Amino acid sequence: MVFHFRCFSIEENEYKTRTQTKSTSTGTFHTACSDLNRSVSVPNFHTKTSQVSNSADKSSNLRVFTVAELKTATKNFCGSSKIGEGGFGRVYKGVVKSLESPFHEIPVAVKYADGLLQGHKEWLTEINFLGKVKHPNLVKLVGYCEEEGELGTKLFLVYEYMPNRSLRDHLSSRSKAPMPWTMRLKVAHDAASGLTYLHEDMNFQIILRDFKSSNILLDDQLNAKLSDFGVARLGPEEGLTHISTNFAGTREYAAPEYLAVGHLTSKSDVWSYGVFLYELITGRRPLDRKRPQEEQKLLEWVLPYLDSEKFMLIVDPRLEGKYSLKSAQKLSFIANLCLSKDPKSRPKMSVVLEMVSKLIKVPSQATTPTLPLVPEESMKVYLDPIQRKKIHDDTKHEGEIGSVVRPPRTRSLKLLKSCFK
C-alpha cells in the first residue's frame, strides 16, 4: 500500500546566528582551557540549547587550533591527505601533537568547511553538541579552528580519526570482502547504544536527524560510532510532543511524518534506525537508481519476502550463507517495529537496544573479526534524491507530493519481545 504526503522545502531557515552584542538570547560556548579568552557564539536552536551551551563551558576540553597548525597536520591540505568530501566540506587525514605529551602524535580527521552560511550553522551545531556529549559510540570532537581572512572565514573541525571508515563503505560492492554477519550485529548494537544515549541518558535530548550508514564510522577496534551532528536538534521541551521544523537530513532515511508535516521527535531517529537495519540485512542502499525499477526502493523490495520461506532471498548474497537465518529474521522484526507508520508505536531506543543485545554477545577485542580496507574515495556522503510527483492528496490540497511505501507489517511489542525469550 502506498500513502502520499506533502513535502517540505529542504531550505533550513530555523537557525538564527547572532553575536552577543546584537542579542542576549545567544549562548556562548567557551572552549579549551588553553585559550579561554576565545569563545564561539552558538545559535539558539531551541530554548533549551542555551542550557547545553552554558553547561558545556565547564566540561568541554575542545582544543583551539590555528590554520597553521592544521596545515602542518595535513601537509598543507594536499590531495594525498584528502579522505572524503560531503555537503559540509572536505575531510583530510592528519596528525597533531598531544597536549599531554609533545612527543606523541594523535591521528585526526580535519573537516574544512566552506564558510558559507549553511556551513557555518553546521559547524556551530557540531561544536555545541559534540563539545558537550561523550560516549564510546559517538565520534569524539578534538577541537576546532575559525580564522578570518581576505577570502572569507575559514572553518575547521578536528575529530578523532576513524581508520576503518564508514559502515556504508563496508556494505558497498567496492569493498574487497563482505562485512561478516557477527560484525553487522555488533554495529547494530553500537549504533543503538549511541542513539539511546542521545535520546534518553542525559538531562536533555538530542535528535540526530541524519542517522544513516555513511555517518556510522568504525575505529581501529571496529567499534561503531555515530558522526555528523551538523543538523542535530534538541528534543521538544517538556509538555510538547514534537518540534515543528523544515526538513534537514537525508530523505531516504526520513520518517514519513517528518517529511509530510515537519514533525520531529526522537522517533524520527528510530525510523531511520529501522531503515539502517535493512541495510545491514540486505547490503543494499535505501534507494539505488542503478537497480531495476522494482528493486530501487529498499523498503518496497523487501516487503513480499517478509514472514515467508523466501526471506533468505533478501539477505546480502555476499555473505554466501555465512549467517544465522534466525538472527536475521529477528533483526527484521526489530526493523519492522521501528518502521511503524505511527510514531507512537515505535519503541524507544533503549527498548531497541535491549532487543539487539539479546541477539548478540558483543565480542571482545581479541575476537573481533578484521575487515578489509575500503577505497578512500568511497567516503563521500550518499545523497541520492527521491523522485517526487505533483498530485492531489486525500485532503484535496495541491502541492509537491512524494510517495513512501508503507513499511513492512509490524508486530506488537509483546509478541516481538517473545521472540527473544
The residues annotated as belonging to the active site are: 210
Percent helix, percent strand, percent coil in the chain, to nearest 5: 35, 20, 45
Provide the 8-state DSSP code for 385.
P
**Separation CA 46–CA 54 (nearest Å):** 14
As a dihedral over the C-alpha atoms of residue 210, residue 213, residue 217, residue 220, rounded to 10 degrees, the angle is: 160
**Separation CA 372–CA 359 (nearest Å):** 25
Q: How many CB atoms lie within 10 A of CB 251?
A: 19
Residue 263: in which H helix or E strand, if any? strand 263-264
- Burial string for 303-321 (b: 16+ CB within 10 Å, else e) reads bebbeeeebeebbbeebee
* Contact yes or no for 165/217 (Cβ under 8 A): yes
Residues in the chain, overall count? 421
Residue 274: in which H helix or E strand, if any? helix 266-282
- Cell 575505529 appears where? 219
C-alpha grid cell for residue 325?
537465518
**Separation CA 171–CA 93 (nearest Å):** 22
Sign of CA dihedral 190, 283, 289, 410: negative
- CB within 8 Å of 305: residues ≥ 6 apart: 311, 313, 314
* Contact yes or no for 132/54 (Cβ under 8 A): no
- Cell 551551551 appears where? 53
**Separation CA 295–CA 283 (nearest Å):** 13
